[in-house]
Amino acid sequence: MCAGQLVGAQPKLGRSYAELGLLTIGLLAVGIPVLGWESPGPANVPVLLLAPLPLLLWASVRLGPGGLSLSLLIFAGVALVNGYLGRGPFAIQSSAENVLSLQIFLIAISIPLMLLAALVEERRRAEESLTTARRQLTRWPPAGDCLCGRIPGAICGSRRCHCRDWPD
């Protein structure tokens, strides 16, 4: 690895930390008021629960599975604290029903987001692999080498050619 690659990796890493910081602030700014209402009406609950969804989508696409996991942890923590304090959409029924509804909600929201994050990560890795393969193909074969080592039975005029040594 050369120094240029290390220097090039630093701004991207710093940008990821900045995005994670902004995402954390956004989740807290949305989650605390949304999940901290004293008594939300039954008609408001679906809208309130979907308010942090754009931020969680952002985390799954831009930050990958790790960033999404941290974002879900923050959101679940805010929901748990507010549920414990008796506020928000997960404090309307009995304690057992509130815990069950919170678990179902977190499972229902986290599985599709984790699948999306895994899909985006896999696509990014495939693109990197393809880019590396393209770079290697543009440099192959080195000047003066013959293609016989790769294509059995081929005959070429390279000085380093050993194709005449091969049996037909």
Does the structure show a pLDDT above 50 at 1? no
Strand segments, DSSP code E, in the chain are none
Q: Is 126 exposed, middle or buried (0-12, 13-18, 19+ CB in 10 A)?
A: exposed
Tell me, what DSSP letter sits at residue 139? T
Instruction: Band the pLDDT of 49: cuts 50, 70, 90.
Output: confident
**Cβ pair 68, 60 in contact under 8 A:** yes
Query: Is the confidence at residue 142, as pLDDT, over 70?
Result: no
Yes or no: say if 57 and 108 are a contact pair by the CB < 8 Å rule: no
What whole-number percentage of the chain has pLDDT above 70? 70
Q: Where are the domains of the chain?
A: 10-138
pLDDT tier for residue 139 given thresholds of 50, 70 and 90: low
